[in-house]
Chains A and B, each alone.
Chain A
Amino acid sequence: MKRQKRFEKLEKRPVHLDGFVKEWDDEGLVAMHSKNDPDPSLKVENGVITELDGKKREDFDLIDQYIAEYGINIANAEKANAMSSQSIAKMLIDPNVSRSEVAKVTTALTPAKASDVINQLNFAEMIMAVQKMRPRRTPFTQAHITNTLDNPAEIAADGAEAALRGFPELETTTAVARYAPLNAISLMVGAQAGRPGVITQCSVEEAVELGLGMRGFTAYAETISVYGTDKVFTDGDDTPWSKGFLASCYASRGLKMRFSSGSGSEVLMGYTEGKSMLYLESRCIYITKASGVQGLQNGSVSCIGVPSAVPSGLREVLGENLMCMMMDLECASSNDQTFSHSDIRRTERMLGQFIAGTDYISSGYAGEENSDNTFAGSNMDVLDYDDYESMERDLAVDGGILPITEDQAIKIRQKAAKAVQAVFDGLGLPEITDEEVEAATYGSTSDDMPKRDMTQDIKAAQDLMDRGVTVSDIIKALDDHGIDDTAQAVFKLAQQKICGDYLQTSAIFDKDWNCVSAINDNNDYMGPGTGYRVWENKDQWQKIKDIPWALDPQKVDF
């Protein structure tokens, strides 16, 4: 065929490197609704759910059983499920109906009914609904802090910079698994040096991760995965009862946690039962609710390549975020793993969550260059900061990331790198050299860092665990080296774990250790003039307006 020149040019655009597939219901390659999804149904007898979404109690699988037992507010269930899905969908976007009124209905729905409600909404309506239904009034976002060499000074410096830019939560993981305790400590110290009150996590295997928390190296956890089919849940090496117990283990040590789930995981793991991504995700959301976990990271997360390939996929992703909020759960709304070569689609990906505002718009945003992101890259990274901040300024939206000056960045990065240098010295870990501190201060990627002896680091990490080092030793190390403010911040974090305020829904700390959650910062959106408006948060708006690269027209010679 003789090629048409415009089509030849279009094929060279980055979007053509992305994956797109047609729907296939029987393999679960369908976003919002599969022909195999059950019709909503519910029967309650003597306070017990005896039929759920087309299944009788004796036919329940383990997930149905768990949801029926714990996940649905039974008292209001028959009434709520008798309402039309359209009327519930209208409540979601009606500014005259408060969030708490809507939640009374939505927390009593069945998973299939909640899915049907989401199916009534177009993308713009979902944005409206998310704006009202997110539990915390003030939106924030979260960052990943990693590098491919697990360099501790760089983790601390990137963590401190992200903390200063406004992220209240930071998440690390490892390139080499046995680095976990070092990464966890480096991030905690860096975060407290950057902005006291920022909480940190280290995403590793479930039991190891809890162990890090028990020692006080982390303050929360998020990658506690749940799945929508029984087979995949088992392949994930858990059951609803083990995950529910794990949730209580975390709370018993004063550690905040949320579950993690997302559309597309069952497709990737090969057992969808031919159900839609939205319906399977609804089951994950209900498992979370049933477990009494305060929140969920969802929105496809690391499986985004699957929903983004099918029609209405990114609408589905915002829809599952919304469903999480309808269940009165904190929502860390993904915008996580990279999925597109197209800058336009990268922007599209986060548009709904960004405009509406969620508890954490990204979970997380790459707080390093994507080449150093050991979560396999994020939808946006540090090199997108200025674009992102411009969008916040253009649209007067608080996306949770603030501009800082180069001078501020250098100072805070150096402070954090020195703090972690002191901690490594105090704990008897392999030295962080002055050269490393300098490189972490001025560098941008791990390519800029001197190479460490990784074998020694790994040995030291194991030794540190064997010696039973805890957060008290970190506080002492900082104090011994005269790094008083960071020592105090780590101490205050330890105090907060005794107190447990931040176990409540959607909780973060501000710079003065005030706990801000859905309890005391309850989303009160009811139309124009209500809810969170960034220009009413005057300090924040001033910072967003004052991007360092804006000209002052009164000082420009024309």
Chain B
Amino acid sequence: MSSEVDDLVAKIMKELNGNGGTATKAPAQDTTSADPDLTAKDFPLFKKHPDLVKSPSGKELKAITFQDIVDGKVDSKELRIAPSTLRMQGKIAAEAGRSQIQNNFQRAAELTGVPDDRLLEMYGALRPYRSSKQDLLDIADELADKYHAPICSNWFKEAATNYEKHNKLKGDN
């Protein structure tokens, strides 16, 4: 129990010190080891740990107020889930025996940094007969290099291999 509290404190300190305003820049793996260990009893985060939940720029959840939105002081990008929150929810899911959900949320955490339009294009590229093998590998590189998204990068590599084997690449239809 005490080590859990320590982890939480460490996490909060790290968030306070380190995540000033640019959390979306390197979203994926920077704070994984410092994410607190959460279980079912920490759920829902909104009621139990609102302090741990941050906006993409690192603001505390409760610091984003109704009035600020009405006054047009909040960029709508601030009304989004942050990678650290997705990883916390992933831990809660895994703790409840749902490791696949955690995997999904880890991919999602990586994708928070990809702009909407580019994300929709990436999804389109994975649809059957849309992309050459090289197209998919190029996106894999983009994910790894530009968005620090190694898991999603791998996802595209895996798709490239499997699409080649099962004839889902551009021109295969």
Contacts and interface: CB of A to CB of B under 8 A. Distances in A.
Interface of A: 61-62, 65, 69-71, 73, 100, 103-104, 107, 206-207, 210-211, 214-216, 230, 234, 237-239, 241-242, 244-254, 289-294, 328, 470-472, 475-476, 479, 487-488, 491, 494-501, 503-505, 513-515, 517-520, 522
Contact of A519 (B43, B107, B109): B43
A214 B116 contact: yes
Interface stretch (B4-12, B14-22, B84-92): B84-92
Given A216-B79, A476-B70, A504-B92, A242 B123 contact: yes
A254 B80 contact: yes
Contacts of A247: 104
Contacts of B128: 234, 237-239, 242
Contacts of A246: 123
Given A249-B123, A289-B100, A515 B46 contact: yes
A537 B70 CA distance: 38
A479 B70 contact: yes
B119 A249 contact: yes
A316 B114 CA distance: 42
B53 interface: yes
B111 A62 contact: no
A253 B64 CA distance: 17
Contacts, number: 205
Contact of B81 (A207, A211, A252, A291): A252
A248 B55 CA distance: 19
B82 interface: yes
Contacts of A515: 43-44, 46
Residue among B72, B112, B162 with max Cβ neighbours from chain A (10 Å):
B162
23 contacts: A73-B99, A103-B97, A230-B166, A242-B126, A244-B104, A249-B119, A251-B81, A251-B105, A252-B110, A252-B112, A252-B114, A292-B100, A294-B101, A471-B79, A472-B69, A475-B70, A476-B69, A497-B81, A499-B81, A501-B45, A503-B89, A518-B96, A522-B96
Contact of B46 (A248, A292, A488, A513): A513
A62 B168 contact: yes
B108 A498 contact: no
Contacts of B85: 498-500
Contacts of B53: 498-500
Contact of B104 (A62, A100, A293): A293
Given A70-B100, A504-B43, A62 B166 contact: yes
Contact of A498 (B55, B69, B97): B55
A116 to B, nearest CB: 23
Contacts of B44: 499, 501, 514-515, 517, 519-520
